[in-house]
Amino acid sequence: MPRGCHVVRVFTREGAGGNYLGVVNDVSGLTDAAMQEVATDLGFSETVFADWRDDARPAQLRIFTPAAEIPFAGHPLVGTAWVYAMVGPGGPGVMECPAGVVTYRMDGAVMWVDAPISVDVAEAADTADRVVAAGYPVPVRTWRVRLPQEYLVAEVADDDAVAAAEASPTSDEEIYLFHRRGDRVHARFFAPTYGVPEDPATGSAAVALAHALAASGQVNGSVTIHQGAEMGHPSEILLEWSPATVRIGGTVSHEEVRFLDA
């Protein structure tokens, strides 16, 4: 029997661009292999499968890239929260992914998700070498951030260095390049290991950036991240952080309900 999949664009910029996401709200009878097959066939950066069947718990989310299941990702949480708020059961509310419990709320047109997850941050000595070895620009400063998947967060000298970067066909690193000017960040994210050569909008990497900046002394802050223009998918992520939590937000556009034979 066909089951519905909401297709949305998350972190849009003035209604355009954003990162495509599939949200499947009916997981009855779906095996792990079937979920992976659906995510691979859809081909989006991530697809979410939401299990509502236990009334005693928040909806249980499983997140799949085209190549693997992952415990945490930002744009799937924001996109799923938007579907919940607009389609049901409403909001504000709570969801749970393998990395932990997150809360969500709508503020005007912006969907916000709080991600108080445990994160390990280090300015490891070999991190810059790993970025360069993967074929990316020489960074000004780097961090290794685990949340729990490991990202290399690399600050580069200017916007031109971000724009000129090219996805490496041989690297197995998850690399987030950024340049910051005041409260504006220009970023790109490459994750070939997960079947995503380049991602147009990456909420988890934004969370990693917040923790990296906090570990470097900016314990509170907010920035607007522009990503995806180089791919033709201009995206905008709102990022706020404090000692208590990291919050990501953005606007979402609904594309269609697609029916899956799964």
Percent of the chain clearing pLDDT 90 (strictly above): 84
Longest Cα separation, the chain: 53
**Strand partners for 246:** 241
Tokens of 252: 């979402």
Instruction: Give the tens place of pLDDT for each residue, 236-246.
Output: 999 999 999 99
Predicted TM-score of the model (pTM): 0.96
Report whether pLDDT(87) > 90.
no
| Rounded Cα distance, 163 and 175, in Å | 14
* Region label for 189, one of left (φ > 0), alpha (ψ between -120 and 50) or beta (otherwise): beta
Pick 61 or 169 by higher pLDDT: 61
| Rounded Cα distance, 45 and 237, in Å | 16
Report whether pLDDT(248) > 70.
yes
What's the confidence (pLDDT) of residue 167?
Answer: 87
Cα radius of gyration (the chain): 17
Q: Which H or E run contains 19?
A: strand 19-24
| Rounded Cα distance, 4 and 227, in Å | 29
| Rounded Cα distance, 3 and 25, in Å | 8
What's the confidence (pLDDT) of residue 1?
Answer: 66
Tokens of 160: 């031109």
Which residues, at least 6 apart from 56, have a Cβ–Cβ distance to it below 8 Å? none
For residues 98 and 32, is the Cβ–Cβ distance under 8 A?
no
Instruction: Give the tens place of pLDDT for each residue, 7-24.
Output: 999 999 999 999 999 999
Q: Which DSSP category does 138 fall into?
A: P
Of 63, 62, 58, 65, give the one whose Cα is nearest residue 84.
58
| Rounded Cα distance, 255 and 167, in Å | 27
Tokens of 206: 């934004």
| Rounded Cα distance, 256 and 29, in Å | 23
Q: Which domains does the chain have, with CATH numbers?
A: 3-99+250-260 (3.10.310.10), 120-248 (3.10.310.10)
Query: How does the average pLDDT of the chain come out, rounded?
Result: 94
Tokens of 100: 């932990």
Q: Which DSSP category does 231 fall into?
A: G
**Which residue has tokens 């900016």?**
218
